Structure 1
Amino acid sequence: MEARLAFTDTQFAKSYYKNMLANEMLFHTATAVPFRTMELMKLRASQINGCGYCTDMHFKDAVHAGESAEDFNLVAVWREAPVFTAAERAALALAEESARIADNPHGVSDGTWAAVREHYDDEQIAALVAMCAQINAWNRVNVILRTPAGFYDPETKTARYRDLQKQ
């Protein structure tokens, strides 16, 4: 598959990405939500949204940071996998429901919200909600553009497919 547009080569996208990346920095510097939880959420939303690029990226980023490949391989079946904490399960449910918001006219269920409230404080919940919005935005950009999956390099934080296209 080939991307529909060299999005990041446009001036608009450069400005857009600069702001999106500034938001990403907040998740790493201004929140007490664990990295593992954020990557679990990003991976699950990306799977649901059919974003191959982000699914590849967040699996690789997590494993590169030392997270268990086995655990992250089980994200799609998190309800059946005992490797996730109750807090992670609440965050995964929130990520799922945020990605499937069109399927439920009331948005996130009261049960999921109660589980999130049980495990996180207001500051953390604000970050979780923002993370849901952020990953859904990234997913939509990449799905619309058909950004190819499988070429993300966690060492450089870039996609190697541009190099392959030049060959």
Structure 2
Amino acid sequence: MANPAQILPDSFKGIGHLMAAVSKGGLPVATLELVALRASQLNGCSACVQSHLETLQNSGESVDRIVGVSAWGESPYFDEAERAALALTDALTRLADSHDAVPDELWREVTKHYDEKQVSALILQISTINLFNRINVTVRERADQPSWKQA
């Protein structure tokens, strides 16, 4: 099946508005891309992993940081704020894995590093990437020939 956003193009308008709002949330672009990569890894979305890998490479991120996302908890390449964002990504992407998906301790750590506008952008980024992952995995979007590069 073709990507649903191509079949129902109006659907992408709403997602586009979300993405535009996220970009104005005051988070570093690197943080937005790192959490997008992490959610995509957790969801097994190869097309999104490839896309975020390319974006991170093109923005000058080191190979150590890009590869380190998959084991961010043990990796020395992330600061405390990025670790909080990655932990929130894990929690929101794996909601069903815990009866308390976002425990108070995690919330305190996230809000220690980010203001309300940034936290909002972070939550919306993680949620939107999870939406893309679920669509792309369902329709078996190809990492080497994603529909968004074909259009």
* Fold similarity call, TM over 0.5: yes
Structure 1: gaps (5+ residues): 163-167
Quick one: distance in 1 between partners of 2:140 and 2:50?
14
The answer on 1:109 being equivalent to 2:99 is no
Q: CA separation of 1:32/1:148 partners in 2, compared to 1, >3 Å: closer, same or farther?
A: same
**Structure 2 CA distance for aligned equivalents of residues 20 and 63 of structure 1:** 24
Quick one: distance in 2 between partners of 1:6 and 1:15? 13
* AA at the equivalent of 1:5: A
Out of 99-108 and 39-48, give the one that drifted further: 99-108
Question: 1:42: which partner in 2?
Answer: 36
**CA distance in 2: counterparts of 1:87 and 1:6, whole angstroms:** 34
Matched, 1:31 2:25: yes
Q: Rg: which structure is higher? A: 1
Q: Distance in 2 between matches of 1:22 and 1:101?
A: 25
Residue identity in the other structure for 2:112: E
- Cα RMSD of the aligned pairs, angstroms, is 1.8
Amino acid paired to 1:159: K
Shift of 1:6: 4.6
Which residues in structure 2 correspond to 1:12-161 (within 5 Å)? 12=8, 14-28=9-23, 30-151=24-145, 158-159=148-149
CA displacement at 1:150 relative to structure 2? 2.9
Q: For residue 4 of structure 2, what is the aligned residue in structure 1?
A: 7
1:32 & 1:130 partners in 2: Cα distance?
13
Q: Which blocks of at least 5 consecutive residues in structure 2 are unaligned?
A: none
Once residues 144 and 110 of structure 2 are traced to their aligned partners in structure 1, the CA distance between those partners, rounded to angstroms, is 32
Q: Write the letter of the residue equivalent to 1:54.
A: C
Name the count of aligned residue pairs: 151
Asked whether the 8 Å contact 2:3–2:141 carries over to 1, the reply is no
